[in-house]
A and B are shown apart, each in its own frame.
Chain A
Amino acid sequence: MLNNFPLWPQQASTLAGHVDALYIFLLIVTGMMALLVFVCIIFFAARYRHRPGVRAEQIEGSNALEITWSAIPFLIFMVIFVWGALVYFKERTPPTDASEVYVVAKQWMWKVEHAEGQREINELHVPVGRDVKLIMTSQDVIHSFYIPAFRIKQDVLPGRYTVEWFRATKPGVYHLFCAEYCGTQHSGMVGSIVVQEQAQYEAWMNGGSTGPLSASGEKIFAELGCATCHRTDTPGRGPNLQGVFGQPVQLEDGRTVTADENYLRECILDPGAKRVKGFQPIMPTFQGLVSEEQVNALVAYIKSISANKPPGGAKATASVVAPRHEPGETRAQAGERVHAQPNGSQVQ
């Protein structure tokens, strides 16, 4: 219904309905509060306007009234707070089996890379009805990935990953905005989210793929010589990375962290920061040697060799992208099918 109302944004994700429901609730509640105050003001102003000979009646105040009009609004506020928090939890908790898309923001462009290897600029193709998780970082300043029709927004920061997710519900083309001011062409950093039916999406996905992102990552892994230390056959000088993703890791300083995307990223770019217990600080930094896109590919690769998690998006698109890196096959076999190098620009 709201989709035809000209002053209302389109609803095109599963989250949009939740956000709109709370928004409408708030419009009603605050509308009633405003009405109550305004009606009182207007009524008092008219009823008690100055008349010659009639004096104001002095009233000291009333503790009972003060408590009432503190307590009732506070209870209403708490309903809004809890409801808002519940919606926020939904927004901030990506489903574990979502397909993954890597986003690199730069002044003034969105670079998108699907786990299957498709690359796009200022556009993102997604199928209807599938959870999509965006793993985002910036090459320069802070940007913000905003899709009004999905009611989602997340700042994209340099030096780390942030994530957001959605499930599109309606085919169509929707606005993508940069919502965090980022310099001269900030208002030009816009694009489109293209939501397609499954069949159309598969057709699009089949055109011009360069092979899965994890395969590119595996190639970079080999080229950079990572495997000389991070061995899977014998204990190496670095930790075995097989199965590490999503698992707790004991650090040298006694802390335990979860090996998520941000941790892997940090270990590549700043290996000394959170060193794994039992290993020497011998790994060199790759800061400046690999582009943001190459880091993304490496992370995707390490995730793909994790025993308990198949590569992102693999389940849903296994039939689409014919040559895939299945968990069972050897990495050597997968490596042969890599067709292209990531061509991301170098980190400044």
Chain B
Amino acid sequence: MSMSMTTPILQPVERENYLNKEYGVWSWLLTTDHKRIALLYLISITFFFFIGGFFALLIRLELLTPVGDLVQADTYNKLFTMHGMVMVFFFLIPSIPAVLGNFLVPMMIGAKDLAFPRINLLSWYLYIIGGVMMLHCMLTGGVDTGWTFYAPFSTSFTNTNIIEAGLAIFVAGFSSILTGLNFVVTIHRMRAPGMTWSRLPLFIWAHYATSIIQLLGTPVIAVTIVLVAAERALHLGIFDPKLGGDPLLFQHLFWFYSHPAVYIMILPSMGVITEIIACFSRKRIFGYHFVAFSSIAIAVFGFLVWAHHMFVAGISVYSALVFSFLSYAVALPSAIKVFNWTATLYKGSIHYDAPMLYAFGFLGLFTIGGLTGLFLAALGIDVHVTDTYFVVAHFHYIMVGGAVMGYLGGMHFWWPKISGRLYPEGWARLAALIVFIGFNLTFFPQFVLGYMGMPRRYYDYSHMPEFQVLNVLSTAGATVLGVGYLLPMVYFLWSMRYGKPASDNPWNAAGLEWKTASPPTTFNFDAEPVVTWEAYNYEELDAPHKEGVPVAR
């Protein structure tokens, strides 16, 4: 979209804002400003993203050839374990909520900050403590159980440092709980006058649903980890049948959190995509209430489908039947969202800026990820494809194709607000294209591999050399994808110094966050805004001879 659509005067960057108000390490480490905490998170999760990505690269390089030649079997097992743990617990779960959510939730509802600013800072410190423990664990040998920690392998057999890795996740989990708590209270109590529930941006609805899962689900994984640690240390006999335990109990507890955790990763991304599609189609979101309530429906149904990870684990035929049915029930709200986004494009005025390219990419990848979920929920097919590369491809389409595309789209969309600078648009569009192509090249062949029967977590497939061609394609795609992920980091950093200063609302977007300065001042708004308009009032914003809605500032 042309930057001249709005004509606010380009203000000097030097005016006081949350970035230049104070300098010095302590002004950052002791800040209670939600925007500064968001940046602390941004730096930390980017660090872990590249660590996790490095592990992924080594995994793909090992699988280039059927024999295990790059690393030892134990090293490979640790690589995929640490890749999963780092990416799930230290990147994906905090990614959008803790960075974009932290930055935007108060601004979008017209608040000065989150309800509990100091708890917000505490949650970052907990994340860092967990992260340092995880790093220490990795540097002193790592863990080789897979991120799923299945008992009794994790409790009685492996001799790697399960307890430390578990405690790292335990501590980081409290960071997630506190973020969720903060959002729930903030959204309930801190909305500006006139900001009713049905005027909330759908980003807020998505974060509200996410927070509910974080609050109710995360304690269960904490309990599970404590039980694993207790069994390892004290031989309690909870999960290991030799000690009188039940290994399936572990799987039930683990997936009771870890399936909803997938929605912690994808729901905020759906929120981001909704904002982007509305802005770059210049339209109100089609079926606002359906999109909003589908987020809540996903959060609720998401808690009732965990055993679909266990169809061949030894559960009864009848419980498998129930969980298969419920899995189709949770697929429906996601389908409704996709249809509503598509319908929003209808009769829009569509701009192809970089954030919108990421949104298109999200729609393509999330749709494929969602539809392949229908295969896995079908009992008869799941028996064949579970624990194969089909599953690996499916959840990467959701968690990388969906969640990370949304995260990158959001980072581009709000970067002018966060940094006060514009990134180079051409490079950003190129990166979106590279990510999309690289992603499909990496993961699409894995669907085929999975149906052919290649099991996951195999470091050596020399018994089945017929799998090599598809693995080579996948590894080639991963290198392309790696370039696609490095590019934004480079030009975002570049833009902080050399980028053009951004206007307050470079996209002429709806939403209270765009009525603040770029970058915003410490308390976001000079005066408490009063909301008199509906969400996504693009009709008014684009109306000729009109300045747009009254600016609260």
Contacts and interface: CB of A to CB of B under 8 A. Distances in A.
A binds B: yes
B248 to A, nearest CB: 7
Interface stretch (B180-188, B384-392, B476-484): B384-392
Interface string B454-474: 011111110110100010000
Contact of A187 (B144, B388, B459): B459
A185 to B, nearest CB: 6
A44 B314 contact: no
A177 interface: yes
Given A84-B379, A148-B453, A107 B157 contact: yes
A99 B145 CA distance: 36
Nearest to B544: A55
A24 to B, nearest CB: 11
B342 A158 contact: no
Contacts of A26: 374-375, 378, 381
A37 B342 contact: yes
Contacts of B77: 181, 183-184, 186
Contacts of B459: 187
A270 B336 CA distance: 51
B258 to A, nearest CB: 15
Chain B at the A interface: SS class: helix
Contact of A81 (B289, B290, B368, B378): B378
B332 A70 contact: yes
Interface stretch (B47-55, B119-127, B346-354, B515-523): B346-354
Nearest to B448: A7
A54 B349 contact: yes
A48 to B, nearest CB: 5
A194 interface: no
Contact of B336 (A60, A66, A151, A153): A66
Contacts of B349: 48-51, 54-56
A22 B305 CA distance: 22
Nearest to B543: A55
A85 B287 contact: no
A88 B282 contact: no
Contacts of B68: 187
Interface residues of B, number: 93
B338 A37 contact: yes
Interface stretch (B38-46, B318-326, B487-495): B318-326
Contacts of B340: 61, 66
Question: Which of B1, B74, B347, B386 neighbours the largest number of chain A CB atoms within 10 Å of its CB?
Answer: B347
A87 B283 CA distance: 45
B551 interface: no
Contacts of A90: 380
A62 B343 CA distance: 10
Contacts of A146: 387, 453, 455
Given A158-B241, A188-B460, A8 B381 contact: no
Given A66-B336, A183-B144, A50 B1 contact: yes
A45 B336 CA distance: 19
B452 A61 contact: no
B158 A183 contact: yes
A155 B312 contact: yes
A159 B241 contact: yes
Nearest to B289: A61
B384 to A, nearest CB: 4
Contact of A87 (B148, B335, B380): B380
A323 to B, nearest CB: 36
B227 interface: no
B463 A77 contact: no
A157 B379 contact: no
Interface stretch (A136-144, A196-204, A311-319): A136-144
Interface string B42-86: 000000000000000000000000001000011001000000000
Nearest to B345: A44
A129 interface: no
A37 B328 contact: no
B157 A183 contact: yes
Given A38-B367, A84-B324, A175-B453, A22 B380 contact: yes
B438 to A, nearest CB: 19
B117 interface: no
A258 to B, nearest CB: 14
Interface in A174-218: 175, 177-188, 190
A237 interface: no
Given A45-B345, A85-B321, A50 B380 contact: no
Contacts of A179: 386-388, 455
Q: Which 7 A-B residue pairs are closest in the complex by CB-CB distance?
A: A148-B453, A87-B380, A159-B241, A84-B378, A88-B379, A61-B287, A187-B458
26 contacts: A9-B452, A19-B380, A22-B378, A22-B381, A44-B342, A44-B346, A44-B350, A48-B345, A49-B349, A55-B349, A56-B538, A56-B542, A57-B348, A60-B286, A61-B287, A61-B289, A80-B378, A84-B324, A86-B380, A142-B152, A158-B152, A158-B247, A175-B463, A183-B157, A187-B457, A188-B73
Interface of B: 1, 68, 73-74, 77, 144-146, 148, 150, 152-153, 157-158, 240-242, 247-248, 281-284, 286-290, 311-314, 317, 320-321, 324-325, 328, 331-332, 335-336, 338-340, 342-343, 345-352, 360, 363-364, 367-368, 371-372, 374-375, 377-384, 386-388, 448, 451-453, 455-461, 463-464, 466, 470, 538-539, 542
Given A142-B152, A186-B77, 11 more contacts: A8-B452, A19-B381, A26-B378, A50-B1, A73-B331, A77-B374, A142-B313, A151-B383, A157-B313, A157-B314, A348-B242
